[in-house]
Amino acid sequence: MTMQAQQSGDERSMEITEVHPTEILISAVAEMLDGLRHVAVGASSPIPGSATLLARARAESGMRVSVLGSTRHNFFTDGGRELFDCAAQGRIDAFFLSGGQIDGSGAVNLVGIGPYPESKVRFPGSFGSAYLAFVVPRIILFREEHTPRTLVEQVDFVSAPGVSAPEVYRPGGPCALITGRALFDFQREQGRFRLRSLHPGHSLEEVIEQTGFSFDHDAAPPQTPVPDAATLALLRGTVARDVGETYPAFARKLWGIGG
């Protein structure tokens, strides 16, 4: 990204002459949230948080947004407990999950690498991932790093499964996976991913090489759309200021604003 910024008193003007790859990710995620009633975002998730705030900013009807860790964009006052209750009542339409590993069946690993409990690398832990993956209709999997290290054939530990047996009541589950290279749809009946689009600058051959699991794809996948001028104006204005409240370092690095 090429960025030039000038500051005079409390006024700051910024010219961004290129679209940053992160802005493409944010815009792509926001497209998946259009028309939803309530989207919740977990802790330490600045890109999903930005996408959710972007979707709300351009929604014609009201969209409720709950960003855990925010004081201005969070309806919950009791942490995860209220989030779980709300999800169980069917009042959260979408949530985001990531993991140290994500596999081709949509399962995520938030525990560690290697045989449990002697994992050689430990992650933060599963928390409520399995629960939310079963009750929230649209789980969007997100991992910016796209390598065989993170996108594996089978996770070492299942924090949240992508698929369940037919007799298991499960209204929720993964619907998509977005990475720094590509966007995938999750085919629940087939239990595997299908490539939807490649981000600008990335090729199908590269994505196949850097993905540890097989996936379905067209011979010539389309490119992930670059955000238009109106979307960029929202991102670099309203959304950047809102994101800066919860993720000041992220907003400052990407857009040059924030505390």
**First-to-last CA distance in the chain?**
21
Kindly report, residue by residue over 180-206, the tens digit of the pLDDT: 999 999 999 999 999 999 999 999 999
Residue type, 54: L
- What local confidence, expressed as pLDDT, does residue 78 receive? 74
- What local confidence, expressed as pLDDT, does residue 11 receive? 32
Find the helix or strand (DSSP H, E) in which 19 lies.
Answer: none
| Residue bearing tokens 């009042």 | 91
Residue 239 CB coordination number (10 Å): 28
- Per-residue pLDDT band at 17 (split at 50, 70, 90): low
Rounded average pLDDT over 96-110:
97
Rounded average pLDDT over 201-217:
98
Rounded average pLDDT over 127-138:
95
Hey, what long-range contacts does 72-75 have (CB within 8 A, 24 or more apart)? 72/242, 72/245, 73/49, 73/242, 73/245, 73/246
Across the chain, what does the average pLDDT equal?
Answer: 91
Distance (Å, whole) CA 95 – CA 85: 14
- What local confidence, expressed as pLDDT, does residue 79 receive? 67
Q: Is the pLDDT of residue 241 over 50?
A: yes
In the three-class reduction of DSSP (H, G, I as helix; E, B as strand; rest coil), residue 86 is classed as helix
- What local confidence, expressed as pLDDT, does residue 222 receive? 98
- What local confidence, expressed as pLDDT, does residue 81 receive? 84
Q: Is the pLDDT of residue 15 over 50?
A: no
Q: Which of 60, 64, 54 is nearest to 30 (CA)?
A: 54
Kindly report, residue by residue over 30-78, the tens digit of the pLDDT: 999 999 999 999 988 999 999 999 999 999 778 999 998 888 888 787 7
Residue type, 190: Q
Q: Give percent of the chain with pLDDT exceeding 90.
A: 80
Find the helix or strand (DSSP H, E) in which 72 lies.
Answer: none
Find the helix or strand (DSSP H, E) in which 130 lies.
Answer: helix 129-135
Tokens encoding 151: 């996108």
- Per-residue pLDDT band at 156 (split at 50, 70, 90): very high
- What local confidence, expressed as pLDDT, does residue 192 receive? 98
CA dist list (Å): 224 to 98, 101, 108: 20, 23, 24
Q: Is the pLDDT of residue 14 over 80?
A: no
Is the pTM higher than 0.85? The answer reads yes
- What local confidence, expressed as pLDDT, does residue 190 receive? 97
In the three-class reduction of DSSP (H, G, I as helix; E, B as strand; rest coil), residue 154 is classed as coil
Task: For CA atoms 77, 78, 79, 82, give the dihedral sign.
Answer: negative
Rounded average pLDDT over 239-244:
95
